Copies of this chain bind each other. A is one copy, B any other.
């Protein structure tokens, strides 16, 4: 590849002059228009591309930001796109370190240090993993760690999250507003933990509206691709035993499973059972019926995470910031006023349980 030296040679100037011209430095140093034009033309004709690596050795920094963590489908791609939007607008580029074990995280963090990344965004790390990352980075003065998405958030660390608590409250209040009282919460464990912010939002909203303690009903099912038979039975029993007229689900995938299991058991949706999901990624719209859900803006979370990170990179004294991205209730076709006869209908429905 063409270097500044070669351009200098061909233009009859010295290499640092080329550097000054190509970087368009407005320092005290001034270059005559004619020399400047000549250099620019030569660079262009030779197809010069600055060597960012060499520049980085010299300046001691890279404008690269890293993303470490569990980077699995759905939301993550949106988050990454959001990060990329902000990053590229600020002339930063993006490095990815998908990892799922502590060992992988440690190794990624080390590599980030070796590559002198400007800063790192962590996604869905366990407390232990996060500690490892912070230890590595503090030691080397690597500016910042920002968290995005669910998971543990230590003090003194900037973070971006969606307003999960408020979102859950919004969902439950919408159902109550429609007239539902018997609202169950369907949840699952991700990496061994419940999402407590959503659960607490559900509980708070149930209490807030004068709900009895006993009206708070929670069931846990697995989050596999296909629902195990045991979970189907558990789910149906949960709905029937508590005579639920509505289910609020901690994730869209759970809501879709509930819809499927309930319909197969003879419930009509939304007439006999209302369902609200959480997440609101594309496939909730394709669901049958299209899912009423709490929409989280993952792209915006990415944008904000990058913004906070870059700010901290530019000014390490920037105080830690906790950003919360508002959720939005998207009303589609899985909610209706409660059907007071639903219990008898359910009984009838049991007969066709295997029909579809």
Contacts and interface: CB of A to CB of B under 8 A. Distances in A.
A74 interface: yes
Interface string A71-110: 1111011101100100000000111111000000000001
A93 B225 CA distance: 30
Interface in A241-297: 252-253, 256-257, 259-260, 263, 268-269, 271, 281-283, 285-290
A69 to B, nearest CB: 12
B52 A287 contact: no
A102 to B, nearest CB: 15
Given A73-B282, A287-B287, A111 B93 contact: yes
B256 A286 contact: yes
Given A73-B74, A140-B47, A95 B95 contact: yes
Contact of A57 (B57, B78, B110, B286): B57
B113 A49 contact: yes
A305 B273 CA distance: 46
Interface residues of A, number: 60
B268 A356 contact: yes
Contact of A139 (B47, B97, B283, B290): B47
A322 interface: no
Nearest to A67: B96
B268 A116 contact: no
A51 interface: yes
Nearest to A94: B96
A56 interface: yes
A1 B84 contact: no
Contacts of A53: 53, 56-57, 62, 115-116
Interface string A48-60: 0111111011000
A259 B288 contact: yes
A114 B49 CA distance: 5
A289 B1 CA distance: 57
Contacts of A225: 282, 285-286
Given A80-B71, A111-B93, A49 B140 contact: yes
Contact of A287 (B93, B94, B256): B256
Interface of A: 1, 47, 49-54, 56-57, 62, 64, 71-74, 76-78, 80-81, 84, 93-98, 110-111, 113-116, 139-141, 225-226, 252-253, 256-257, 259-260, 263, 268-269, 271, 281-283, 285-290, 332, 356
14 contacts: A1-B140, A47-B140, A51-B57, A52-B111, A73-B281, A93-B111, A94-B96, A96-B96, A225-B282, A225-B286, A226-B290, A252-B286, A257-B286, A286-B287
Given A52-B116, A74-B74, 18 more contacts: A1-B116, A47-B140, A49-B114, A51-B57, A52-B114, A53-B56, A53-B57, A53-B115, A54-B57, A64-B95, A71-B80, A81-B98, A84-B98, A225-B282, A253-B286, A256-B286, A271-B356, A283-B283
